[in-house]
């Protein structure tokens, strides 16, 4: 999955659709995923701050039967592991005040990830104001929006520690996406890290700005929950990302 993403990045930026298995049945998640893929999304991320393992497993299974594009778990906790997914973002919540989210959950989950036999992609995860549910649950020391250089420092540390992806998160449903300047500093701080940006990307304009500022991978979740026409909404966002890739 990592190589697949990196291959696409040679020519253009990537869009991933985040589905929270807590929000709908596995059958409905399949419908959303199929529509998002028709709209041009490059893969499906599965996760949420409060979702349980059974729902993640059942939705991963249903998706694995129906779609060919990567299914990537975006774990909210140690129970969010499924052998039916293709990969897991194995993340450390770098700006949490609680060591559980930095390394404790990872230690508790590592054996299950190995047993599931899915690809683990090492990722630094950083939550910026407003931070939403994940900021609250994860005891985050939220990055102030007017301090654009802070995530760049963490990204460089993550790279030196051997991580290959870095996720800048504003929180699901945030009223504003990550500030453009913050994305730009993070992107400039490393040539090799894959920069993932999510939270609050709702319109084609948002997506264009985030992509132009330097995001490699853009994640949207809330938009598919808010629209009746997933395919057109994702197509609009994907088109903006593609035009920012040129
Ligand atoms: C949340 O970054 C993702 O973890 C997506 O956020 O729901 O605001 O698109 P949205």
Indicate left, alpha or beta for 46 from its phi (over 0: left) and psi (-120 to 50: alpha). beta
Q: How far is CA 86 from CA 9, 74, 164, 196, in A?
A: 19, 12, 17, 18
The pLDDT assigned to 42 comes to: 98
198: Cα within 13 Å, side-chain hemisphere: 25
Taking the centre of ligand 1 as the mean of its atom positions, its distance from the CA of residue 223, in whole angstroms, is 9
The pLDDT assigned to 180 comes to: 98
How does DSSP assign 164-176, residue by residue?
-EEEEE--TT-SS
From the CA of 198, give the closest atom in ligand 1: 2
Dihedral angle, C-alpha 218, 223, 228, 232, nearest 10 °: -30
Q: Would you state the structure tokens that stand for residue 47, as one six-digit string?
A: 């996760």
The pLDDT assigned to 11 comes to: 96
| Domains of the chain, start order | 2-245 (3.20.20.390)
The pLDDT assigned to 246 comes to: 83
Residues 6+ apart with CB under 8 A from 189: 152, 153, 155, 156
The pLDDT assigned to 186 comes to: 98
Q: Would you state the structure tokens that stand for residue 82, as one six-digit string?
A: 């499924």
Q: Which residues line ligand 1 (CB under 6 A)?
A: 18, 169, 172-174, 198-201, 219-222
Phi, psi of 76 (to 5 degrees): -95, -15
The pLDDT assigned to 51 comes to: 84
From the CA of 222, give the closest atom in ligand 1: 7
Number of other residues whose CB lies within 10 A of the CB of residue 226: 11
With a cut of 70, list the residues of the chain below it in pLDDT.
Answer: none
From the CA of 220, give the closest atom in ligand 1: 9
């Amino acid at each position: 999955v990592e190589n697949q993403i990196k291959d696409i990045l040679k020519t253009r930026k990537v869009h991933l659709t985040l589905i929270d298995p807590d929000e709908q049945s596995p059958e409905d998640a399949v419908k959303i995923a199929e529509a998002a893929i028709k709209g041009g999304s490059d893969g499906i991320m599965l996760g949420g701050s409060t979702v349980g393992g059974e729902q993640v497993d059942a939705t991963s299974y249903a998706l694995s039967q129906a779609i060919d594009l990567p299914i990537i778990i975006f774990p909210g906790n140690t129970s969010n592991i499924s052998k039916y997914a293709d990969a897991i973002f194995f993340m450390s919540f770098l700006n949490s005040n609680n060591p559980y989210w930095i390394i404790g959950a990872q230690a508790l989950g590592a054996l299950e990830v190995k047993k599931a036999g899915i690809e683990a992609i090492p990722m630094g995860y950083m939550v910026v104001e407003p931070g939403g549910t994940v900021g609250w649950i994860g005891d985050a020391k939220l990055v102030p929006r007017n301090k654009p250089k802070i995530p760049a420092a963490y990204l460089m540390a993550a790279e030196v520690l051997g991580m290959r992806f870095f996720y800048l998160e504003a929180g699901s449903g945030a009223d504003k996406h990550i500030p453009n300047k913050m994305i730009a500093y993070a992107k400039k701080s490393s040539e090799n890290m894959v920069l993932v940006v999510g939270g609050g990307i709702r319109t084609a304009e948002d997506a264009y700005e985030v992509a132009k500022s330097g995001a490699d991978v853009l994640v949207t979740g809330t938009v598919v929950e808010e629209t009746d026409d997933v395919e057109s909404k994702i197509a609009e966002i994907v088109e903006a990302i593609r035009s920012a890739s040129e």
